[in-house]
């Protein structure tokens, strides 16, 4: 393994003082040592930036959305590889080591998927964790999104689309694949703190993400009525019907959650089209 190859970890934040310290510490505990951390903050009013600076992290202020923050981080990055993280995540110890090992084996690999394991406390967090468990058992081509990229490939396809908020996580890896690169997957996991206070919050989140969803759908030639947009159409749930049957309460709650997210996303999509966002 090329131990001298630098990996740049880009974190985007806005008022994340409750979780940012844990994420930074998990990055510093990686088995792979040649890492730089860049935090791009969008006008936090709490202690997020101070905590990062206390941990000797390079910080920048930029916005207004996650895609623009990530692209700025990539421009400032000194590494050959880029790993993009949200503040409510933590890395298991071998994430970066495995990603570097995989891309070093094959020059045609442009990006790497790292599975996420939910950290859940509240009921709806546990429901969301149950949903994610279907995708993470062996991967899912509909929902998987790479976070680790070769920097030259990242810029070859234009980086994150700054006109999209939400689906940009899907859009970029799809551009990488269309450019002729392979997308690999590692077994090391990212721990994702779900932080879902209520079902209403999920609906609002989907509403916000859907405001500009039409741009992504048109760009990638994806139908509005498809497994990508409608959870109920995703084959992975019905292929694993025994798992649904073994957890009837979680399964029922999951489909209720899907309904709320679908309504929020549907309204957001219509509002976005009306506003021409």
Tens of pLDDT along the chain (277 residues)? 455 799 999 999 999 999 999 999 999 999 999 999 999 999 999 999 999 999 999 999 998 889 999 999 999 999 999 999 999 999 999 999 999 999 999 999 999 999 999 999 999 999 999 999 999 877 888 999 999 999 999 999 999 999 998 899 999 999 999 999 999 999 999 999 999 999 999 999 999 999 989 999 999 999 999 998 999 999 999 999 999 999 999 999 999 999 999 999 999 999 998 887 6
Note the Cα 134 to chain centre separation in Å.
16
Q: How many C-beta atoms surround the C-beta of residue 85 within 10 A?
A: 25
Q: How many C-beta atoms surround the C-beta of residue 151 within 10 A?
A: 18
Please state the pTM of the whole predicted model: 0.92
User: For the residues of 185-197, what is the DSSP string, one character each?
Assistant: E-S--EEEE----
Q: Any idea what the Cα angle at residue 83 is, between residues 78 and 84, rounded to 5°?
A: 110
Q: Which residue has the tokens 């880029």?
A: 82
User: What SS3 class is residue 118?
Assistant: strand
User: What SS3 class is residue 27?
Assistant: helix
Distance, CA of 79 to CA of 32 (rounded, Å): 13
Can you list the domains of the chain with their CATH numbers?
1-197 (3.90.550.10), 198-277 (no CATH)
């Amino acid at each position: 393994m090329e131990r001298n190859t630098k990996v740049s970890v880009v974190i985007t934040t806005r008022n994340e003082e409750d979780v940012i310290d844990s994420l930074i510490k998990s990055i510093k505990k990686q088995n792979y040592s040649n890492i730089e951390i860049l935090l791009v903050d969008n006008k936090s009013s709490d202690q997020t930036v101070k905590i990062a600076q206390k941990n000797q992290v390079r910080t920048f202020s930029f916005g207004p959305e996650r895609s623009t923050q990530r692209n700025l981080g990539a421009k400032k990055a000194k590494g050959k590889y880029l790993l993009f993280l949200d503040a409510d995540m933590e890395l298991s110890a071998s994430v970066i080591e495995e990603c570097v090992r995989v891309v070093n084996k094959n020059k045609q690999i442009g990006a790497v998927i790292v599975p996420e394991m939910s950290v859940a406390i509240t009921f709806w967090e546990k429901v969301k964790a149950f949903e994610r468990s279907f995708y993470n058992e062996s991967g899912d081509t509909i929902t998987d999104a790479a976070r680790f990229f070769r920097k030259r490939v990242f810029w070859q396809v234009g980086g994150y689309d700054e006109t999209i908020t939400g689906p940009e996580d899907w859009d970029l890896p799809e551009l990488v694949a269309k450019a002729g690169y392979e997308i690999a997957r590692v077994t090391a996991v990212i721990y994702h703190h779900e932080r879902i206070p209520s079902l209403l919050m999920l609906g609002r989140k989907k509403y916000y993400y859907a405001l500009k969803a039409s741009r992504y759908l048109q760009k990638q030639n994806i139908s509005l009525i498809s497994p990508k947009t409608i959870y109920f159409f995703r084959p992975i749930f019905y292929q694993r019907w025994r798992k649904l049957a073994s957890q009837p309460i979680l399964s029922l709650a999951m489909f209720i959650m899907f309904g709320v997210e679908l309504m929020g996303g549907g309204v957001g999509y219509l509002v976005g089209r009306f506003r021409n966002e």
